[in-house]
Amino acid sequence: MIEKGKSVLLFLLVVMSLYQSYLLAYSKPFMEAKVKTELNYVKTEPLGTELEVRDLIFPEQLVVHLGEDRHTVFYPSTVPYYNLILEKLRSREFKSLQRDSVNAVDWDRIARENQGVELRFGRAIPFELLQRVFRIDGDFLFSRDSIDRIWVYTSKLRDEVRTYFFSSDGRNVYEAQKADLTVGDVEGYVGFGQYWDPYVIYGEEIYIPEKPISRMLAMDVPYDRYTAEQMQDNLFFDASSVRAIPSGTFYNDAKRAMKIEQGGTWLSYTDPVAPTEGADELVENLIAAVGFVNQHGGWNSKHALVQGTDPVKDNANIRFQQYYRDVPVVSGPVMNFGYMQMTLQRGQVTSYARSLVLLDQEVSNKKIRTLPAGSELRSILKSKESVGGRIEAVFPAFRPEMLEDKVVLVPVWAVRLAGGEVAIAADSTAAAATKDK
């Protein structure tokens, strides 16, 4: 009887062993970690909207060459022309890119004699990121280069369209040998600018208006703001471990720190990480930065990826320029407003600074203002260069003035200097009081 029981038990053990072997061979193991580490971004309750990387990459301006040395400029606020041209180019394919020296072509002559459009970006964009916005062939040898300008024009000699991508190092260009663009397409883009404001060259490649611009509005904008409590919940993993100093403007746990400044309108956050080997990659850091903002407060308006203020650490510093009604908001040195600034180390955010202000869509007290042009603007820019150095771009912007219950937005000319700094060059004036000098 005992021997018979042993046989049954042995049989059951063999069956269980075979069954376990079957599970190990044919079932899928559960590989995902059950507990997230602190290095993973924790999804929190969203405050603002979420954006994708492609939403943050768009040209700072479109320079339209009309032929016969006539030019104009479209900005994101130049609706609908800017959007029409950009969307049409986003739908086209650019293939078989071939590298050449930038000096192989006389670009000044091309700009004077041929019709075309230049897409100028606020910072150098790696091909890998540009491919998220435009349909660019990714199978070529120089895909790790960065681009700060795209130029599409019609060649009078061959009755064809030429498309060039300009390397940010200023040495090379890449021509798309195959692009589904026609002469009619380019003529259509140029047609949008035939009756727009005339622009003339300033310096080597900057274009400024010949006549004063009198269509921008100064306005009063009501605002709300994120609270310190909301940002504390969004930035700290364990709210119960956070300590606040008596003034209520500084918060920290064992590792991270958050400071609320400017009367509750500006946030500075730090999260030190151990140094790591290897160079910072802009693509890796940008993707991590966008994901961090999406999960820790969200976006309070439209933003654009722009040049950082430290060229040496350009891939580690990520800067996003805020737009209101498709116009960049530039605060100058008086206060922090109108941008997000982040520092990353191999995809890990170590510092994060941003505005907590939420501008309303309803505005009041709208007044037409005039921006200077012609010789007056030329004189202003020369004076600015004598103090701040070479100017790389000129564009209309809003200068914010913070009041107790509203933000006053005043149109200005802003400039981006060679070092990446954005500064205000000239204020606008009441429309009726301005004369072209």
End-to-end CA distance of the chain: 117
CATH topology of domain 223-359: TATA-Binding Protein (3.30.310)
Are residues 199 and 394 in contact, defined by beta-carbon separation less than 8 angstroms?
no
- What does each C-alpha distance from 259 to 221, 229, 231, 321 come to in angstroms? 26, 12, 10, 21
Residue type, 209: P
CA angle 413–417–423, rounded 5-degree value? 40
CA 189, CA 161: separation in Å to the nearest integer? 13
Reference 371, options 217, 247, 144; nearest CA is: 217
Reference 396, options 303, 299, 329; nearest CA is: 329
Q: What are the φ/ψ torsions at residue 231 (nearest 5 degrees)?
A: -70, -35
Domain boundaries, the chain: 79-195, 215-219+361-433, 223-359
CA 404, CA 222: separation in Å to the nearest integer? 10
Counting Cβ atoms within 10 Å, is residue 138 exposed (0-12), middle (13-18) or buried (19+)? exposed
Place of tokens 């603002």: 48
Q: Which residues contact 325 (CB under 8 A, 6 or more apart)?
A: 77
The pLDDT tens digits of the residues spanning 377-411 come to 999 999 999 988 999 999 999 999 999 899 999 99
Quote the tokens at residue 183. 């002469």
Reported in sequence order, the residue ranges of 229-316 that DSSP labels E, i.e. its strands, are 243-244, 250-252, 257-261, 266-270, 302-306
- What is the full DSSP assignment across 196-237? S--EEEETTTEEEESS-EEEEEEEEEEEEE--HHHHHHHH-S
pLDDT of residue 49: 92
For the chain, what is the radius of gyration of the CA atoms?
Answer: 28
Q: Which residues contact 397 (CB under 8 A, 6 or more apart)?
A: 327, 328, 329, 330, 411, 412, 413, 414, 424
- What does each C-alpha distance from 315 to 124, 170, 309, 354 come to in angstroms? 11, 18, 11, 19
Facing residues of 426 across strands? 413
**Which portions of the chain are predicted below pLDDT 50?**
1-3, 6, 8-15, 17-42, 433-437
* CB neighbours of residue 19 within 10 Å: 10
Task: Give the total residue count for the chain.
Answer: 437
**pTM of the prediction?**
0.85
pLDDT of residue 68: 95
Coil, strand or helix: which one is 346? coil
